[in-house]
Amino acid sequence: MEFFKTSIDWLSIAVIPVMLLVFLGMGYAKKVKVYEKFVEGAKEGFEVGVKIIPYLVAMLVAIAMFRASGALDILTVVLRPFTELIGMPSEVLPMALMRPLSGSGSLGVMTELMKTHGVDSLIGIMASTMFGSTETTFYVVAVYFGAVNVQRTRYALPAGLVADAAGLIAATLITRALF
């Protein structure tokens, strides 16, 4: 485990410089005008950033309002009987609900849970596994589809949420079984 982690750590430090070197080096070797082509590509960066803005604003406003209103507390009460069936402690439920909505929000919830219940308690491990195994789906949908001006996202969000639910349930069951 320790070896696995250090090797992955080294890999993740080395991969970007190596990638830059290989990509630019291959281009240079094939007599591509590297500087000119780089600038040509980089020009799009600004456009993409600006394109995302309306989508991100729409999504983040809705999420921020939803969080501030205390709707999550009500959802927690409603969902608690169901999640207790699969053995998810009710303390962890806010974490599970927050995770697809907001990265910084769920980070806060996770830290709070580990502080109050102990880092190495079942609740602490379960919360951090949930944080590590899923993404903020709403944010990803807004940014990725915003970049290509897609408003009709079809089934992307529900399918992403189904995947999140599966990941959260799996995290609960796996940590229950292991710890």
Partner 1 sequence: MFRNLRNLRNLIQPGKKRLFYFHKSHEIIFRSVEIALYFFSAIRNLALNLYCTLGGHAMLNHIWFWMIALAIFIAAGNDIYNEFAAEKPAVQTEQKRNLSEETKLGQVTSAALKGASTGVEIAIGLIGVMALWLGVMKVAEEAGLTRMLARGVRPITKRLFPSIPTEHPAISAMIMNIAANMLGLSNAATPLGLKAMEELDKLNPNKGEATDDMCTFLVINTSAITLIPATAIAIRSSLNSVNPQIIIIPSILAATCATIVGLTTVKLIQRFNRKKAADKNMPKGD
Contacts to partner 1 from residues 81-140, by CB under 8 A: 107, 110-111, 114-115, 119-120, 124-125, 128-135, 137, 140
Shortest distance in whole angstroms from residue 92 CB to partner 1: 13
2: three-class secondary structure by DSSP: helix
Site string for partner 1, 25-64 (x = CB under 8 A): -xx-xx-x-x--xxxxxxxxxx-xxx-xx--xxxxxxxxx
21 binds partner 1 (CB under 8 A): no
Say if CB 138 and CB 101 are below 8 A apart: yes
Q: For residues 94 and 105, what is the distance between their CA atoms, to the nearest angstrom?
A: 10
**CB nearer partner 1, residue 90 or residue 156:** 156
Q: Which stretch binds partner 1 (CB under 8 A): 2-10, 79-87, 88-96?
A: 2-10
Tell me which H or E stretch contains 7: helix 2-29
Say if CB 159 and CB 114 are below 8 A apart: no
Question: What residues numbered 142-161 form the site for partner 1, per CB under 8 A?
Answer: 143-145, 147-160
